[in-house]
Chains A and B, each alone.
Chain A
C-alpha cells in the first residue's frame, strides 16, 4: 500500500557471492573489533572519578536557607501537592517571637519529610516552590540505604548546612538561560569541566 511519495525500500535480501562465503564479513567484523581493542577506553572509573552532571541535574533534595541562615520554606504545601509520588509531607507551624533569625516567613515547616524511596526526582517540587526553598542538588545523589527506616529524611538531613552551602550556577531556568548566553559569548568562564576523558 503506497500512502505517501516519500517511501523508500531499504531491505535488500539478495546476497552477493562474497557475502555468501561468510569469511569476508567476518574479517570486516574482526577488523572493527580489533580497532576498538586498541582504542582509548571511555570508562569512567566511577568512585574515584565523578562526572559533572550538568547545571540542571535533579539529584538529592535540599531545603535552602537565605544569606542570613534563615530557613526559606514557608510550608505553603505546593511542593507536596505537586509531587506525583506523594513523597513530601509537612506540618506547618507559626513562627514565635524570637525566632526571626531562624525562619524567614511567619509560617514555617515544623516537620518536613521526604520519603526518598518514593521520590522519583521529577523536579516538580522545585518548579512549584514559590519561595526558592526546595531544590534538587545537581552535584549529589541520595545515598543508598540498607534499612527501610532510614529512608524518610527529615529536616535534619534536608536543611542546608551553612558551613557547606550548596551553590549552583543558576537557580531558575531563566537564570540558567542568561548564564548560558553569557557563557556562549565567552563572558563567563567558571565552567566546570566534565570529568570524562
Chain B
C-alpha cells in the first residue's frame, strides 16, 4: 500500500528568506488554512500583526494539464478546460472551442454564438458571485454568501438543462453547441433574469455601504496601474486599478460586438474596488444575458462542417457516410492544419489565453494556457506588504485566485 515515497512537506528554510530581525515571527498560511480557498501556501514574515514580507508556494494541485493536452484529441480537451477555472468552466470551454475553430477556420452560426455568449455571461455571474460572497465570508458575513449561492444554484440548473452537468459542464463542441437551447432552458434563463436582481441587491445592501465592510476593504491591498500592468494583471483586478481593458471590447469574439454593455473600473485597485468592479460586472453580464436571450437568432446551432462536428445520431444509425465521419471524429482523426494560434477570451479572472501549436496530428503538439490567476497572483506579497493579517486575507480572497487555474 504505502509503497510510494512521500517527500517531506516543503517549508522554505530560514536561510532562504531574506535576513530579518529576530523579533519577526513566521506565520504559515496554508496550504490547509481556511482562507486559502484553493490550495497554496503563503509564508508570511510578521512583525506583530504586520506583514513584513511574504513568499508563496504554489503547485499543490498541479495536474499537468499541458502534458495531458498533448495526448488527447481536440474534443477531449474540454474536460481539462472544465477543471481549470472551475467557477466559470463554460468560459474556458468556449474559449477552447473558439481557438480550435480559429485553427480550423470554421465560422460558427449566429445562434450558436449567442448561446455561447449566454453561457459565458452566466458563468461570469457565477464566478463573481463566488468571489464576492466569499469576500463577504472572509469579513465575517456568512449569510449574504448563502443568499447568492441560491441564485448560483439556479444557474447550475440552467447548465444542467443545457448540457447535463452542473460544474464541469463539458459544454459546447468544436463547431457549435452540442444541442440546441431547450425551451425549458430559455424559460429558466428568463426566470433567472427576473429573480437575480433582488438577491444581488440584498447582497449589496448587506455589504456595499456598510461601514464595517468599507473600513475593512478600502485601501486594503491596493496596486497602482503601472505595477498592475507590470505584473500582468487582467480582468476585474486590472479594471479595479482603473484600466478599462476588457477582451470582450478590445477583441470581440463570439458576437460580443452586438451587445451593449459597460466596462466598470475602480480607482486605486484596492479590495473595495475589486469588489465593486465585480459587483457591477454581474449587472453588466445580466444585461448581456437579457439582450442575448431576447435577440436569440433562429437558425442552426452548429456549423456546417461535417468533418469536425459530429453528425446527428439518426444519420449515424442509417447513413454510412455519417458513420464514417462519426468514427473519424471520435477517434480524433480529423484533418487539422498545422499552425499556431493564440486566442484569448475574457475569463472570470481576466484574459484567458490559449496558445495552440498544431502539427496536424490528432492532438495538439503543444498547448499552453495563459492562466490569469497564475500570472497575477505573484503580485500578492507586494500587495499585502505592510498590512495586517486580516487585510492580507481579504486581499487574497478579493483577487479570486482559483487553485485549478493557478496550478494547471
Contact = CB atoms under 8 A, between A and B. Distances in A.
A128 B329 CA distance: 9
B180 A177 contact: yes
A6 B249 contact: yes
A8 to B, nearest CB: 4
A159 B212 CA distance: 59
Contact of B243 (A1, A56, A138): A1
Contact of A124 (B168, B170, B314): B170
A3 B239 CA distance: 11
Given A13-B267, A25-B209, A183-B183, A36 B147 contact: yes
Contacts of B264: 7-10
B79 A122 contact: yes
B interface, how many residues as a size bin? Answer: 35 or more
Contacts of A4: 244, 246, 249-250, 263
B280 A57 contact: no
B164 A181 contact: no
Contact of A57 (B160, B183, B205, B310): B160
Interface stretch (B4-12, B26-34, B46-54, B271-279): B271-279
A127 interface: yes
B263 A7 contact: yes
Main secondary structure of the interface of B (DSSP, over half): helix
Given A78-B327, A78-B331, A128-B330, A25 B263 contact: no
A130 B180 CA distance: 20
Question: What is the interface residue range for chain A against chain B?
Answer: 35 or more
Given A42-B150, A57-B160, A82-B330, A11 B276 contact: yes
B168 A122 contact: yes
B78 to A, nearest CB: 8
Residue of A130, A136, A184 contacting most chain B CB atoms (<10 Å):
A130
Contacts of A181: 183
Task: Name the 3 nearest CB pairs between A and B, nearest first.
Answer: A173-B179, A7-B244, A184-B183
Interface of B: 72, 75-76, 78-80, 82, 143, 147, 150, 157, 160-161, 163-165, 168, 170, 178-180, 182-184, 202, 205-206, 209-212, 214, 218, 225, 240, 242-246, 249-250, 261-267, 272-273, 276-277, 279-280, 310, 312-314, 316-317, 323, 326-327, 330-332
20 contacts: A6-B244, A6-B263, A8-B263, A9-B265, A11-B276, A22-B211, A25-B210, A36-B143, A54-B160, A56-B160, A81-B330, A122-B168, A122-B170, A132-B317, A136-B164, A171-B313, A173-B178, A177-B182, A180-B183, A184-B183
